[in-house]
């Protein structure tokens, strides 16, 4: 077993265990903390896959931005009753069966597809992922993916306005 594999299995174990913690904890703040652990180990897995820029974005945007937003909202809406009432809804047995079916499907696809040559060959020359990661991503983003990049900026603008409108307190003067 190489160092790579040991690192991968450690990160994967941390990710899966804390993901399980996210969906089983009673207190939403604990769930958020375990989700942060999962996001960090996923960032580590990105580093293993030579996606250094994406790992940094994962830590900055997810952990630094989205999770802080989550914690803000938990603080805003947290109720005392949350600690006493049921955690799971009534249809949890059916939900678990459906999820088990989903997992079996995934397993089937991975086992069947793992050794076959169903994947089409690479079109275009292979790029060197290991060197100048941020520079190459930046170049591709501004050359090949200019339109999606602009659409993403528009999406973020819409999301900003939408979040402000939705969370705004209704004044008595405007109906």
Partner 1 sequence: MVTTTEYLILAAALFTIGVIGVLTRRNIIIIFMSIELILNAVNINLVAFSNYWQQFTGQIYALFVITVAAAEAAVGLGIIIALFRNKETVNADEIDLLKW
Please, which residue, 165 or 171, has the CB nearer to partner 1? Answer: 165
Site map 53..92 versus partner 1, x via CB under 8 A: xx--xx--xx--xx--xx-xxx-xx-x--x--xxxxxxxx
- According to CB under 8 A, which one of 112, 146, 150, 159 is a site residue for partner 1? 159
How many Å separate Cα 26 from the centre of its chain?
21
Q: In the numeric block, which tokens belong to residue 28? A: 């939403």
Angular region, 152: left φ>0, alpha ψ -120 to 50, beta rest: alpha
By the rule CB under 8 A, 14 interacts with partner 1? no
Taking CB under 8 A as the criterion, which residues in 109-148 touch partner 1?
A: 110, 114, 122, 124, 126-129, 136-137, 140-141, 145, 148
Please, which residue, 74 or 172, has the CB nearer to partner 1? Answer: 74
CA atoms within 13 A on the CB side of 51: 11
- According to CB under 8 A, which one of 117, 118, 131, 166 is a site residue for partner 1? 166
Nearest Cα to Cα of residue 62 among 83, 47, 41, 80:
41
C-beta neighbour count of 40 within 10 angstroms: 18
């Amino acid at each position: 077993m190489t160092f790579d594999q040991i690192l991968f299995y450690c990160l994967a174990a941390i990710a899966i265990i804390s993901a399980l913690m996210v969906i089983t904890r009673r207190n939403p703040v604990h769930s958020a903390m375990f989700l942060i652990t999962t996001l960090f180990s996923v960032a580590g897995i990105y580093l293993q896959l030579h996606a250094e820029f994406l790992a940094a974005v994962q830590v900055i945007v997810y952990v630094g931005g989205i999770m802080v937003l989550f914690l803000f909202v938990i603080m805003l809406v947290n109720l005392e009753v949350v600690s006493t009432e049921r955690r799971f809804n009534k249809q949890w047995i059916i939900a678990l069966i459906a999820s088990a079916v989903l997992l079996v499907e995934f397993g089937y696809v991975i086992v069947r597809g793992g050794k076959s040559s169903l994947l089409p060959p690479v079109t275009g020359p292979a790029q060197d992922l290991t060197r100048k990661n941020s520079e190459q991503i930046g170049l591709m983003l501004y050359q090949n993916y200019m339109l999606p990049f602009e659409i993403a900026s528009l999406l973020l603008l819409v999301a900003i306005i939408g979040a402000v409108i939705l969370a705004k307190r209704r004044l008595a003067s405007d109906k």
